[in-house]
Amino acid sequence: MSVTREEYKYFSDITTRWSDNDIYGHVNNVTYYSYFDTVANNFLIERAGLDIHAASVVGFVVASECQYHSPVAYPERLEAGFRVNRIGNRSVEYGIAIFQQGSKLAAASGSFTHVFVNRQEGKSVAIPEIVRQALLSVTI
């Protein structure tokens, strides 16, 4: 299955680190989840104005999955594509893909689900309207 750059609406640069590589000389599979988390939170901070330190409502990851299409390795510059696959009242499923810089095809792709919760109580709440509007701007 080919996943292309055109399927995503927001991009964030990611630089691989020496520690990302595993013994086989490529980025370890678990590291991609860190990349997914990075692009999702970059979007929420940059486009939705989320204050990750003081906001009363934050997103908790409840599910994630990834398919690997081709290896990447340190030192490479990557680009993470981001979109919203589904948005509900209290949760959102993101579609995320990792591209080698300038590549049209993804090296990895998957999804990442946030449930929005009240930081103090840890209980799910409605997605704040400002966040919802930002998410709707990248919904497929």
* pLDDT tens digits, 40-51: 999 999 999 999
CATH number, residue 108: 3.10.129.10
- State residue 1's pLDDT score: 76
Cβ proximity of 115 and 124 under 8 Å: yes
What are 98's strand-pairing partners? 80, 108
Buried b (16+ CB within 10 A) or exposed e, 2-12: ebeeeebebbb
Task: Indicate the pTM of the whole model.
Answer: 0.95
**Percentage of the chain lying above the pLDDT 90 cut:** 99
Is the pLDDT reported for residue 3 higher than 80?
Answer: yes
* pLDDT tens digits, 59-88: 999 999 999 999 999 999 999 999 999 999
Buried b (16+ CB within 10 A) or exposed e, 49-63: ebeeeebebbbeeee
- State residue 43's pLDDT score: 98
Domain that holds residue 61: 5-136
Task: Report how many domains make up the chain.
Answer: 1
Which residues have a Cβ under 8 Å from the Cβ of 127 and sit 6 or more positions away? 57, 87, 89, 90, 91, 92, 116, 135
Is the pLDDT reported for residue 139 higher than 90?
Answer: yes
